[in-house]
Amino acid sequence: MATSSDVGRIARAHASWHWSEIAFWCLALACGFAFPSRYLIMTDIVRLGLFALSLDLILGYAGIVSLGHAAFFGIGAYSAGLLALHGVITEPVLALLVAGLAATVIGFLTSFLVIRGVDLTRLMVTLGIALLLEALAERYSDITGGTDGLQGIVMAPVLGLFEFDIFGRTGFFYALIVLFLLFLIARRVVHSPFGLSLRAIKNNPLRAAAIGVPVNRRLIAVYTLASFYAGIAGALFTQTTQLASLDVFSFERSADLMLVLVIGGTGYLYGGLIGAVVFRMLQEFFSTITPEYWQFWIGLVLVVIVLVGRARLHRWVLLVPNWISRQLSGRKAAVAIPESEA
Amino acid sequence: MTLALETKGLEKQFGALKVTRDLSLQVAHGARHALIGPNGAGKTTVINLLTGVLKPDAGRILLEGHDITNRTVHGRVLRGLSRTFQINQLYPDLTPIETIGLAVAERLGRGGDWWRVMGTRSDVNTEIAENLARFHLTDVMNEPTATLAYGKQRLLEIAVAIASKPRVLLLDEPAAGVPESERHDILAAVASLPRDVTVLLIEHDMDLVFSFADRISVLVNGAMLVEGTPDEVARDARVKAVYLGEGVDG
């Protein structure tokens, strides 16, 4: 008979760090020193990665589709902008948290609408909420600056120590550290009993309820958590670009996020991060070689991904790293997509 | 004496079709009660009504004397009413440790625990280990469910239900589709369920019903036709007519 400690050891093994994960984060940090002229786009990728991580929490783990995730990004962005502009909270880290919490409140309130119904209903409801907020931001232009957005935001130094510089160096490291910390929390959450119950709900909600899982309560909880993450991503956007305009709520922003996860894959946390890197690089690459038609090529890449199947592409791309990892540890690489996601 | 499970005048209608008619069922504490009936008799609807997936149009459901008619599905599980599924509804990607762990964590109120990694609670681990051993799943505890032999999957199905420590267990065709070679394990597992757990067995297999049950209810067209001991039911002319001599006398 297996003892309690055997069971514990095996259960915990799923949550242990794989060397490829450590390599991933070392690489991300190394980029900060290797490409000093590219801070702006790298910060953009980090923000997008965090935003995609947020969507992955609800889509990849709980199976909630959303076409309006920019709602929370926008709340975070405007909150951070207003806090800085009116000098309410000038210290960026504290302001970041407050902006994230503002998005959390909206996330919690709207979660009751979102958990009702099936996928199509959810797409429409989330889309509607984002459009609604965008319209409200436009209507109350005396607060939000309307179509001009918030102007003249000046950021105080991070923790009173690190001044935002013109090259975006502080901004990049600040964003990367925030991403890493939030990633650590997300990683813990998905390996907890709570995270396991989310996977069960995604797979078969009826069965999950029959096991005793309070399905709606769990969905509300994860949706609220994801809105915090999205709010932080939005606040980072404002803090590192010193801009907040109506397009933080835009449909394109929500839709791009879906594309990022289509590229990177869902349900293993790194999908959003890898997807963000690939998506922005593709955008850069195509807009350099064909400034007018880059969207066509991005579209083509997406069609290929969907038709060929992400799992197959990943197997090809990861052929060599997987082989090395097998030689080293006799285990499967952590950055592999479950077959069912294809 | 309070009953383990009781329904009073349960009714359910889909459009013009009455699928449950004035159903009053009484299951005694510790009973081995079987609910049988030909195809289309409404057995699945009864399970869905009892577990809370469907709401009855009329009537009440009592679990150990408490009215649970308006309780949620998971609320009934926590109150002590669990079920197994007839067709495979297990999680293909999860291992037996994880699947049983889900049920154990929820029962111990640790299911919402988001800050501790799975496997760090010794009370949860101990119960998982006990259930694995009891249902002969220890050797495959870390294999994805999809890769398990069908018989093992059926055992896991029962193990998950038992992991919620139910006082009333609904067994929905536990041996359906299990190959002859693995059947013995399932029957042994069903036979060795603790006596203090009341079991309501919903089954087609007459051998299993007559070897297991001490009381049988026969459902026809959504209404109770006969209820009695296995002998009474086997002798009943109406039951024979319904089954057209389909081996009712076991």
Touching check for A221 and chain B: CB below 8 Å? yes
Cα separation, B161 vs B159, in Å, equals: 5
Cα-flanking dihedrals φ and ψ of residue B89, to 5°?
-125, 25
β-strand partners of B226: B218
Question: What share of chain A in percent tops pLDDT 90?
Answer: 65
pLDDT tens for each residue of A160-177: 889 888 889 999 999 999
pLDDT at A329: 57
Residue A13 in domain: no
Measured CA to CA in angstroms, residue B209 lies from A285, B203, B204 at distances of 69, 7, 8
Average pLDDT over residues B203-229: 90
pLDDT tens for each residue of A242-290: 989 999 999 999 999 998 998 888 888 999 999 999 999 988 888 888 8
pLDDT tens for each residue of A287-327: 888 888 888 888 888 888 778 776 666 677 667 666 666 66
Q: Report residue B72 CA to chain centroid gap.
A: 17
Residue type, B30: G
Instruction: Give the pair of three-digit tokens for residue B136.
Output: 């002969």
Taken in order B73, B78, B135, B180, the sign of the CA dihedral is negative
Average pLDDT over residues A216-236: 97
Structure confidence at residue A26 as a pLDDT band (50, 70, 90): very high
Say how many C-beta atoms besides its own lie within 10 A of residue B13's C-beta: 14
Count of the separate structural domains present in chain A: 1
Structure confidence at residue B102 as a pLDDT band (50, 70, 90): very high
Residue A317 in domain: no
Residue A270 in domain: no
Residue A257 in domain: no
Q: In what helix (H) or strand (E) does residue B144 lie, and over which residues does it extend?
A: none
- What does DSSP say about strands B198-202 and B168-172: parallel, antiparallel, or unpaired? parallel
Taken in order A78, A81, A86, A91, the sign of the CA dihedral is positive
Cα separation, A237 vs A77, in Å, equals: 6
Residue pair B190/B197 in contact (Cβ under 8 Å)? The answer is no
In terms of Cβ atoms closer than 10 Å to its own Cβ (0-12, 13-18, 19+), residue A39 is buried
Residue A276 in domain: no
Tell me the shortest Cα–Cα distance from B248 to chain A, in angstroms.
Answer: 32
| B138 closest CB neighbour out of A1, A204, A217 | A1
The single residue listed with the structure tokens 């101990």 is B126
Instruction: Give the pair of three-digit tokens for residue A8.
Output: 């514990």
pLDDT at B246: 52
Q: What is the DSSP letter of A269?
A: S
Taken in order A183, A188, A191, A193, the sign of the CA dihedral is negative
Question: What share of chain A in percent tops pLDDT 70?
Answer: 90
Most confident of the ranges A264-268, B79-83, B149-153, B183-187: B79-83
Note the residue count of chain B.
250
Residue A145 in domain: yes
Q: Which residues of chain A neighbour B92 with C-beta distances below 8 Å?
A: 203, 340
Cα separation, A126 vs A118, in Å, equals: 12
Average pLDDT over residues A63-90: 94
Instruction: Give ipTM to 2 decimals.
Output: 0.89
Residue type, A313: L
Residue A97 in domain: yes
Average pLDDT over residues B149-168: 93
pLDDT at A338: 42
List B residues 116-135 in contact with A (Cβ-Cβ < 8 A).
116-120, 122, 124-126, 128-129, 132-133
Cα separation, A216 vs B34, in Å, equals: 33
Q: Could you tell me which chain A residue has the CA closest to the CA of B101?
A: A193
Helix axes A119-139, A251-264, angle to 10 degrees: 140
Cα separation, A189 vs A173, in Å, equals: 24
Cα separation, A17 vs A334, in Å, equals: 9
pLDDT at A331: 47
Touching check for A213 and chain B: CB below 8 Å? yes
- Inform me whether the pLDDT recorded for A198 exceeds 90: yes
Q: Which residues of chain B neighbour A188 with C-beta distances below 8 Å?
A: 114-115, 117
Residue A173 in domain: yes
Structural domain for A205, as ranges = 32-250
